[in-house]
Structure 1
């Protein structure tokens, strides 16, 4: 199966992305002290959280997608193909998906089970801090009971997703959802090992030791505000098709700095801002990648430190 690691968030990236990639940087060929091929990437922002339920930023989603895998993924041509799901069936009325899971395991040796998806999706729907909980509603995947849980606050309900057995996941929809399979690529719908999640509590996803991997890579180093390093996961079900042994993602807020690192062979991929495009547009490594992007301001209308924000005219009440 021809596969790729998705390094860009599937739902939020930059329109007209300009990047320099694999420009002969020494890292791509020489690797690290541990050996193997290493690619170094420069990203503008730092990772915030590697908890797939709470993550909201592109870089966090990028890294989550390196070490965790969901039901579906993208091939080299951006077609949606099965990942942890080996196959799926859609009912005649298009309201029920039945996924058959392949033999895959977490980095603690436990099997990836259908219950891992049931737990993760219900946790997403019921968690008040999960900003992407709306994705289970009719504004997203249209999962049964999603509207009632997220919008109506009915905490006694569960989503219409069940584990028929360890390898069979059944998802019931409120209505037809043409976008359902594409959403399965998004990290908010990735599985979570319930026992490990509860054991780590509010520290889950905040440090290397508080993470489990079921994807192509494992997080081996994480220096907050600086870099994240992932290494090939030998226990990944499709490890034979993972061609890069290590990926280092550096936080480099200044585009000029990351471009200079690229020129010096210390970075293999970087974004460019508009002021740098003319300088590099004739470089053979320059590439434009059009993608969708959504940026927005979210106002705090309840913080007691800013009482003026509770004014109905300001809060839109």
Structure 2
């Protein structure tokens, strides 16, 4: 179940309008009819799934993070701090983490237990549909038995994670994993109440009544293709520090529409696409913030043509990333030649990883075209064909559609 993906092109800069002080929308100050403070956010895509095991898109992860909490979280300065884990210890050989859980509840009144993490992580590892199952392997958190379960298909094994008691979670690693704690912030490692999960079956995470919360909010409304509303969770262990009572996340595929909603006071935050930046860049509500997010092509390995490595290299190499980010996206995105964005982490040498990690996709211009042609010639010879025909599927929203059109061309 080794799912490899080939990178596409960009690390993005999030450019948008945000209500702050006396600028922008009014919802953040006015609240709702029920009282309290409400913030309305416009996102270009709809939520796909609120099942933390199966979710793969940013909006789904954003909402999951509103109503579910894992072992660790980030503070305002992006420092990793304990969340459901009140504390943790790392063994001298750095291969065993022991987490002590704080008193926390699910929204059905049951306590959050160490077993909830054991169940969720094993379900992630063993679920053939879980795109992020590789995160338990040595390509991620390095959890014991992760490679054997995910890559070798040994379904009779369990991950090296055990509940010593209700409040003590022990995680054994195959090898040292400096990135382990940072991965605990990621929704794929959030806990799941096993009894509730099994009761809901394949409907878990697909409707309000099929969700449990242990985080700052609870999902109270979810209209597919339209909006999700979360409300403050009074039973959250740190509810006293939750300052916003309601958050509404609307799916607005058209950036012009969401920008107009912002001007009319109906939206408090929206992203902007390249065609709107010049219009709003001098607005006091305009903000530009870097985001460590990626766009990439994911190949269908069941397609006999795409199973050919040289064909994949030809496609990946021929995409002119510089032209794409400067003349198609035009939103501050930067050229990316690997899965790790610039400014995200350092390598073993202490330098920015992206500065020293090399990739054939770094080629540009005529050099890239020449290399791509060489890869394609090799691929066609190996496949015994004169040409191949491929289908590219994409999201219909901006910027996915214009990017796909550029790649197609």
Q: TM-score, normalised by structure 2?
A: 0.69
Question: How far is the alpha carbon of 1:312 from its aligned partner?
Answer: 24
Q: Is the 8 A contact 2:15 2:287 kept in 1?
A: no
Deviations 1:102-121 (A, max 9, x none): 00000000000000000000
Alpha carbons 2:44, 2:255 under 8 Å: kept: yes
Kindly provide the CA deviation profile for residues 34-55 of structure 1, in whole angstroms up to 9, marking residues without a partner as x.
1100000000000000000000
8 Å contact from structure 1 (residues 10, 186) kept in 2 = no
Match in the other structure for 1:136: 136
Determine if contact 1:163/1:169 at 8 Å carries over to the other structure. yes
CA spacing shift, 1:66–1:254, aligned 2, 3 Å: same
Larger radius of gyration: 2
For 2:164 and 2:292, locate their aligned partners in 1 and report how far apart those are by CA, in whole Å: 36
* Residue correspondences, number: 317
Query: By how many angstroms is 1:99 displaced?
Result: 0.3
Give yes or no for contact 1:21–1:286 (8 Å, CA) kept in 2: no
1:7 to 1:137, Cα distance in 2 relative to 1, 3 A: closer
5 Å-filtered alignment, 1:248-259, equals 248-259=248-259
Contact 1:89-1:97 within 8 A present in 2 as well = yes
Cα 1:131–1:310 shift into 2, 3 Å: farther
More displaced 10-residue stretch of structure 1: 220-229 or 16-25: 16-25
Larger mean CA deviation between 273-282 and 135-144 belongs to 273-282
State whether residues 46 and 226 of structure 2, in contact with CA within 8 Å, keep that contact through their aligned partners in structure 1: yes
Change (3 A) 1:21 1:166: farther
2:5–2:296 Cα contact (<8 Å) kept? no
Q: 290-299 or 253-262, which moves further after superposition?
A: 290-299
Distance in 2, matches of 1:307 and 1:262, equals 20
* 2: CA distance, partners of 1:297 / 1:5: 7
Kept in 1, the 8 Å contact 2:394–2:404? The answer is: no
TM-score normalised by structure 1 residue count: 0.89
Q: Distance in 2 between matches of 1:166 and 1:293?
A: 36
Gaps of 5+ in 1: none
Do the aligned partners of 2:80 and 2:181 also contact (CA within 8 Å) in 1? yes
8 Å contact 1:20–1:287 — kept in the other structure?
no
Change in CA separation of 1:166 and 1:108 when aligned onto 2, cut-off 3 Å: same
Aligned pair in 2 of structure 1 residues 147, 261: CA closer, same or farther (>3 Å)? Answer: same
Per-residue deviation at 1:316?
Answer: 20
Give, in whole Å, the separation in 2 of the partners of 1:305 and 1:30. Answer: 31
Does structure 2 conserve the Cα–Cα contact (< 8 Å) formed by 1:145 and 1:174?
Answer: yes
Range with bigger deviation, 11-20 or 220-229: 11-20
Q: CA deviation at 1:100?
A: 0.3
- After superposition, give the CA deviation of every residue in 1:24-67 in whole Å (9 maximum; x if it has no partner): 42211111111100000000000000000000000000000000
In structure 1, the partner of 2:217 is 217
Greater share of helix residues, 1 or 2? 2
Structure 1 position 23, deviation (Å): 3.4
Counterparts of 1:192-211 in structure 2, within 5 Å, are 192-211=192-211
- Output the aligned Cα RMSD: 7.5
Separation in 1 of the partners of 2:218 and 2:189?
A: 19
Identify which range, 169-178 or 19-28, moves more after superposition. Answer: 19-28
Q: Whole-Å Cα distance in 2 between the matches of residues 306 and 31 of structure 1?
A: 30
CA distance in 1, matches of 2:177, 2:201: 33
The structure whose RCO (Cα within 8 Å, separation 6+) is larger is 1
Relative distance call for 1:205 and 1:304 in structure 2 (3 A) is: closer
SS in 2 for 1:36: coil
1:142 deviates by: 0.4
Deviates more, 1:302-311 or 1:131-140: 302-311
What is the CA distance between 1:297 and its match in structure 2? 2.4
Pair 1:37–1:241, CA change in 2 (3 A): same
- Structure 2: runs of 5+ lacking an equivalent: 301-392
How much does 1:92 deviate?
A: 0.8
For the residues of structure 2 that align with 1:7 and 1:37, how far apart are their CA atoms?
40
Asked whether the equivalents of residues 273 and 398 of structure 2 are also in contact (C-alpha less than 8 Å), the reply is: no
Deviation at 1:298, TM superposition (A): 2.3
- Say which SS state the counterpart of residue 39 (structure 2) adopts: strand
Q: 1:263 to 1:129 in 2, by over 3 A?
A: same
1:22 paired residue number:
22
Conserved 8 A contact 1:19-1:271? no
Aligned mates of 2:241, 2:2 — CA distance in 1: 8
Contact 2:17/2:269 (<8 A) preserved: no
